[in-house]
Amino acid sequence: MLSAEPEEPLLERLLSSDVKAQLLVLFRRNPGLIDEVDGIARRVGRKSESVVADLRDLVEVGVVEERRIGGIAVFSLNPTRDAEVQKAVGSYLMGLKT
């Protein structure tokens, strides 16, 4: 189900930092990735503290989902929500051209 959030702020929110953009690329290119914060940070060449805020924001948007494995918070792509977001953003961008 699409969020009521307008597409422009959503786009700005998704790309508000380089780190967030790198995280988006990471999850989209590697849909089978399920990892804790430290593992995700390592995979984009960073430390946990520099990705955790952006990661949580992606969870709030719904593109990334969070669950617990053995009490450890793990993150993975939500493919359904990600597809919705991509479609919404794509439509918005196409609308800008006309």
Residues that bind another protein (CB under 8 A): 29-36, 38-39, 43, 69-72, 74
Of 10 and 78, which CB lies nearer to another protein in the complex structure?
A: 78
CB of 41 to another protein, least distance (A): 11
Q: State the CB neighbour count (10 A cutoff) for residue 60.
A: 11
Q: What gap in Å lies between CA 27 and CA 75, rounded to an integer?
A: 9
Of 2 and 69, which CB lies nearer to another protein in the complex structure?
A: 69
Measured CA distances, 65 to 8, 94, 98 (Å)? 22, 28, 34
CB of 10 to another protein, least distance (A): 25
Q: State the CB neighbour count (10 A cutoff) for residue 12.
A: 10
CB of 7 to another protein, least distance (A): 27
Of 72 and 93, which CB lies nearer to another protein in the complex structure?
A: 72
Of 10 and 63, which CB lies nearer to another protein in the complex structure?
A: 63
Q: State the CB neighbour count (10 A cutoff) for residue 51.
A: 25
